[in-house]
Amino acid sequence: MFLAKIALAIEFQLATPSVGWTLLNVSASLAASEELLQSMSAQQKQRHLWSTVLQDAPFPFAYGGLFLGLYLRHGGRFAVYLAAPAFIVIPVDLIENAVKVITLLRDEALLPANAYLTPTYFLLFYAASIVAIGNLSISLSLRVLRKFTQ
């Protein structure tokens, strides 16, 4: 899952220039998203659509699987509780992707939903990342301490 996440993240960086350097899900506000959408050519919209379908759609499964694996391996009896942000962020990200695809297919009625979905996604993603890194750090630290105290 780690390698899949890294590969998809690299692909995002490679695809960004073809859609005009800015993706809809990184726009700061609804107005910025609308302005970005209006400034995109038909070709950029098509590339953005395919980037969303081929790269952004599998991304939640890659990072979600990575986070869940870390929680289950290193979370102990708290693993289910630690996994909450990861369980929630996956469907939020998939819904955000669906809204982007619908918007890029020339139906901008759902675009305002991304003004809520995108910040929610980023908040949950960063929370899941912090919990995963913290959980892994604590687990590895305790392992090292146990080796030195034995």
Domain chopping of the chain, boundaries: 42-149
Give the pLDDT confidence score for residue 15 in this predicted structure: 64
For residue 82, what are the contacts with CB-CB under 8 A and spacing of at least 6?
71, 75, 131, 132, 135
- Cα-Cα end-to-end distance for the chain: 34
Judge whether residue 128 has pLDDT over 60: yes
Judge whether residue 28 has pLDDT over 70: no
The DSSP secondary-structure symbol of 76 reads: G
More confident site: 44 or 26: 44
Structure tokens at 88: 């929630």
The model's pLDDT over 64-110, given as tens digits with 9 standing for 90+, comes to 888 888 888 887 788 888 888 888 999 999 998 898 888 888 777 88
